[in-house]
Amino acid sequence: MKKLSMIKNFMLVVLAFNGMQLAEAQESNADQSYTLVVEGYDWGPATSKVILHLSDTTSVAEGANYSIDVLRESDCLDANSPRSKGTLQVVTAYVSDAEGNKMETGKNITLHVGVGPHIQIGSPIVYFFTEGCRGNQWTNYQLTITNSKNKSIWNKESDRIMPLVDEFDLSGKFSSNNVDLTYASFSPKMGEGKKPLIIWLHGGGEGGTDPSIVLLANRAANYASNEIQKIFGGAYVLTPQTPTRWMHGISGETTRGNEPDIYSETLMDLIKDFVSKHPDIDSNRIYVGGCSNGGYMTQELLLNNPDYFAAAYPSALAFFAEFLSEDDIRSLAKQSIWYMHSKDDPVTKADVTVIPTFDLLMKAGAKDVHLSLYDHVVDLYGVYGGNDYHLNGHFSWVYSHRNHASKVIDGQEVTVMEWMAGKSK
């Protein structure tokens, strides 16, 4: 009996020890980390992948075993708002390295996450409408990933990957005329000799002091993509950012061309300063474009500096045609401009902005002014409904960022970026 009691006590000790180990493992699991991958899409930014970091090597990854809970926190977001919590769908999973590259065996598992214009909880950036919280802003974006099979948990973000955005220098700052601007810039990695400069001016929702918002909120980082870079043989990309909005008039009200803004002079100083600091930029091949607020500013820069830019590509133009003088029309008619707009734009209505502007320029004898006027902004991916799926009509910049706008010019069909790459002063 004594021997049996000793065996029983020994087994209890072993079980207790194993229980302690299990508890420790579960506690350790709660501290496991992940890398978040955020990419820009036509409708905005979204979490595309989550890379789980493991303590041991594995060769198995079963997507059905994983669930992802999301919590978005911000001083501008009510904790009880339906925009603050949700779940993400795991589409597939595979063993990978720490950057998400597929491997046969490894110490990481990459979860591909469902994305789409209807999955708002997938974005770490939220567009706010309330006073003092207007525009796109980063949130405190927290994920809890659970493996239902072994109860492992990952709830600490250890790294964040933002394809294309990570290739930009986000630290740019410039001041003149008592105005401060921030900016991001990309240096070309292909081609030799002098390089053109592509300038993108953001919309009204991307103001602030964090240029990553400019690059992600409406996919402006795509001008650094290999597809567009190849068209130009390598190009610098400059994305300035205003702390408020480009259409901030001197009166404090929003200007639509009826009064000067407070930023155009400083913005032009920034552009010239950037060019002077990069002597390999071809000063005869500087291109400027922007959407909405940035469309307004694009046209304002063309009016104030008619001989500086080789071509322009504004979308969702917010400059009202009624405020263009005859001299303005004559000046713009001599320049190379490709407008992009949607007929159902609810914000910058085409019939008071781009349509009358284009008609006036045509009547003035413009030779190289073009307009891509769409019925709707549709799903160019073809997986959310194609032409039958309509994004917000204000999002006509999609056709610019995707280099989708095209037309026949001089007997040859060209895209907007191909057209622009061929322009030189």
Burial of 202 (0-12, 13-18, 19+ CB in 10 A): buried
Overall average pLDDT of the 135-158 stretch: 95
Taking all residues of the chain, what is their mean pLDDT, rounded to a whole number? 92
**Topology adopted by domain 30-161:** Immunoglobulin-like (2.60.40)
pLDDT class for 133, splitting at 50, 70, 90? confident
What gap in Å lies between CA 14 and CA 23, rounded to an integer?
14
Mind listing the pLDDT tens digit for each residue in 332-367?
999 999 999 999 999 999 999 999 999 999 999 999
- Whether the CB-CB separation of 254 and 247 falls below 8 Å is answered with yes
DSSP string, 173-192: EEEETTEEEEEEEE---S--
Report pLDDT for 82: 87
Exposure class string for 113-147: b at 16+ Cβ within 10 A, else e: bbbbbebbbbbbbbbbeeeeebbbbbbebebbbbb
Give the type of residue at 170.
Answer: L
- Whether the CB-CB separation of 96 and 51 falls below 8 Å is answered with yes
Mind listing the pLDDT tens digit for each residue in 291-315?
999 999 999 999 999 999 999 999 9
Report pLDDT for 29: 52
Would you say residue 2 has pLDDT above 80?
no
**Of 16 and 199, the one with more pLDDT:** 199
Report pLDDT for 31: 63
Overall average pLDDT of the 274-289 stretch: 98
Would you say residue 180 has pLDDT above 60?
yes
Would you say residue 4 has pLDDT above 70?
no
What gap in Å lies between CA 153 and CA 245, rounded to an integer?
42
What kind and span of H or E run contains 331? helix 326-333
DSSP state of 254: B
Measuring CA to CA, which residue among 196, 414, 186 is closest to residue 287?
196
Would you say residue 3 has pLDDT above 60?
no
CATH of domain 165-421: 3.40.50.1820
Q: Structural domain boundaries of the chain?
A: 30-161, 165-421
Mind listing the pLDDT tens digit for each residue in 228-247?
999 999 999 999 999 999 99
What gap in Å lies between CA 70 and CA 14, rounded to an integer?
39
Measuring CA to CA, which residue among 371, 240, 358, 248 is closest to residue 315?
371
What gap in Å lies between CA 59 and CA 64, rounded to an integer?
16
Report pLDDT for 25: 35
Report pLDDT for 184: 98
Report pLDDT for 375: 97
- Whether the CB-CB separation of 248 and 220 falls below 8 Å is answered with no
Give the three-class secondary structure for 284. Answer: strand
Give the C-alpha distances (Å, rounded to integers) separating 121 from 102, 140, 230: 26, 12, 34
Mind listing the pLDDT tens digit for each residue in 198-214?
999 999 999 999 999 99
* Residue with tokens 């920034």, as numbered in its chain: 270
Would you say residue 26 has pLDDT above 80?
no
Q: Are strands 140-147 and 66-73 parallel, antiparallel or unpaired?
A: antiparallel
- Whether the CB-CB separation of 417 and 231 falls below 8 Å is answered with yes
